[in-house]
Amino acid sequence: MTVSNNDEEIDLGKIIRKIFKEKHIIFLCVFSCFVLSLTYIQFRNVKYKTTATLTPPLERDLESIDYFSLTKYSREELLSKIFFIAKNETYRKDFYTLYKTELNGISSNSDNLYKTFNESLHIFQQEKIFAKENSNLFKQVVNLEFEYPDKINGPFILSEYINNIEKHVRLSILEEFIRLKGLKEEQLQREKTLLLFKLEGKRKNEIAKLEEAFSLAQALNLHIFSDTFSNLEENSKNSFVLDLTKELKPPYLLGTKALTVQLNNLRNRQDLTIVDDEGINIETELLKLSQIDQEYDSATGNYPEYIGKQFSHINFLEVLTSPSVPTEHLDKKKGVILSVSLLIGLMLGLFLIFMKFVLLQPDKKDNSNDLSKEGKPIYTGS
């Protein structure tokens, strides 16, 4: 290929051959390997952040709900959507039993009810009692709700929560129901204050940080429970805990001292290093908290939240908040990254082949002229 410039012909092929010599080809090969290595290293050391696809089964089941237009749903529909989270008939029966117990006034104290609830769950598991599927469960709950309107009170009553949703349509079914269930009285007051600020649009930075903590907890398959600020402060030296709560002030935070995590899910992902913004290995930091609240309080019947120890009762929070199969998303993400890397490598390889055998291949005419000028014999093949 030649270009005419002021009656002079410039041989572009010859110029390219001078620029891209063998050492440059080697350099391009090394550079392509370096790019691929960087891509792989970046994946292995990914700072794992939750994404829209990493959501609890509950949220995926209800993702069609418009949380800003909840009033378009009837009370029956809202109740059915909440109960839909408990796909197992045993869970449905336990929720219904708890609901009916409170409505009948058997226990009006939240702490006693919490104890009764845990004990009933323990019996359910020990005796292996599984309730049969009850297709009329939702209607029964709604009927009970209207049958005992004067007894609807306390943090465990679903109808109170539904009423709250109807009054404040911006309230999220998923997050707030999980938070309000099982809280003690002093914790409940702080939670209601948090909800109030959220509904009024105040403290946006604190709320955003709190939601980020919940999202990260879901992504790591760990569960953040309510705790007192003083207890949280005692463990604020832990960089992971501090990072989640450093911008929050009481009463706008949920404590993160009491953590429950299924570390096996992390250990099984040996190819994944989960770190926070400061490069701290989260699994290591969580293990440091493993000695917190590990003893079951037999006197009160409370089951403390802790790390690395199986609950002896059915853990509803685990059912409600844990991601279904987070590894599926990771495998998909890994496949996409590797596919892109291979595509980049293939394109670079084709480019190198093209440069080597097409652009850099000297034409015969140029070779003969060059050899003649140098006074060297030309081999004609005869």
Residue that is last in its domain, among 151, 182, 213: 182
Residues 42 and 123 in one domain: no
pLDDT score of 218? 41
pTM given for the model: 0.19
Q: What domain range is 63 assigned to?
A: 55-182
In terms of phi and psi (left: phi > 0; alpha: psi -120 to 50; beta: otherwise), the region of 88 is: beta
Cα 160 from Cα 170, distance rounded (Å): 16
Note every long-range contact of 261-268, with CB atoms under 8 Å and residues 24 or more positions apart, other chains counting. 261/220, 261/221, 261/222, 261/223, 261/286, 261/307, 261/308, 262/221, 262/222, 262/322, 263/287, 263/307, 263/308, 265/221, 265/326, 265/327, 266/220, 266/221, 268/327
Percent of all residues in the chain with a pLDDT value above 90, rounded to a whole number: 0
State whether 306 and 331 are in the same domain.
no
Do 39 and 106 reside in the same domain of the chain?
no
Q: Is 39 in the same domain as 73?
A: no
Instruction: Indicate the residue type of 102.
Output: E
In Å, how far are 96, 103, 130, 132, 329 from 143, measured between CA atoms? 12, 11, 23, 20, 41
pLDDT at position 172 is 39
215 assigned to some structural domain: yes
Split at pLDDT 50, 70, 90, the class of 64 is very low
Looking at 322, 339, 372, the residue that finishes a domain is 322
The confidence band for 346, taking pLDDT boundaries of 50, 70 and 90, is confident
Per-residue confidence at 108, pLDDT binned at 50, 70, 90? very low
| 85 CA to centre of own chain | 18
Residue 357 lies in a domain: yes
What residues contact residue 59 under an 8 Å CB cut-off, 6+ apart? 174
- Regarding whether 177 and 265 lie in a shared domain, the answer is no
User: Which of the given ranges, 114-123, 183-192, 287-296, has the highest pLDDT on average?
Assistant: 183-192
In a domain, 176, yes or no: yes
Question: How many domains would you assign to the chain?
Answer: 3
**How many Cβ atoms are within 10 Å of 223's Cβ, its own excluded?**
21
Does some domain include residue 3? no
379 is a domain residue: no
